[in-house]
Chain A
Amino acid sequence: MAKSHKPVVWFPFAAGGTVIAFFIPVIVLLTLLAALGHVPPGLGYDSLRAFAGSSLGKPIIFGVVALSLWSSAHRLRCTCYDFGLRADTLVATVLYVAALAGSLLVAVYLLGMPAA
Chain B
Amino acid sequence: MSRNPLVREVSPTSWFFRHPRYLRYMSREITSIFVGAYCVLLVVAVQRLAAGREAWEGFLLALQGPASIAFHLLALVAAVYHAATWFNATQKAMPLQIGEEFLPGNVISGAHYVAWAVLSGGVLFLAGVI
Contact = CB atoms under 8 A, between A and B. Distances in A.
Interface residues of A, number: 52
Contacts of B80: 25
Q: Which range contains the number of B residues in contact with the other chain?
A: 35 or more
A72 B39 contact: yes
Contacts of B79: 20, 24-25, 28
A43 B35 contact: no
A75 B28 CA distance: 10
Contact of B127 (A21, A23, A25, A42): A42
Nearest to A86: B12
Interface string B49-60: 110010011001
A30 B129 contact: yes
Contacts of B11: 84
Contacts of B50: 52, 109-110, 112-113
A102 B43 contact: yes
Contacts of A68: 35, 39, 42
A7 interface: no
B34 to A, nearest CB: 9
B12 A65 contact: no
Given A35-B64, A68-B42, A75 B49 contact: no
B124 interface: yes
Given A27-B123, A39-B60, A42-B129, A32 B69 contact: yes
A-side binding surface: helix, strand, loop or mixed?
A: helix
Contacts of A42: 126-129
A31 B120 contact: no
Nearest to B121: A26
Contact of A76 (B33, B63, B115, B116): B33
6 contacts: A25-B120, A45-B49, A48-B49, A79-B29, A105-B46, A106-B43
Interface of A: 17-18, 20-37, 39-43, 45, 47-49, 52, 61, 64-65, 68-69, 72-73, 75-76, 78-79, 82-84, 86, 102, 105-106, 109-110, 112-113
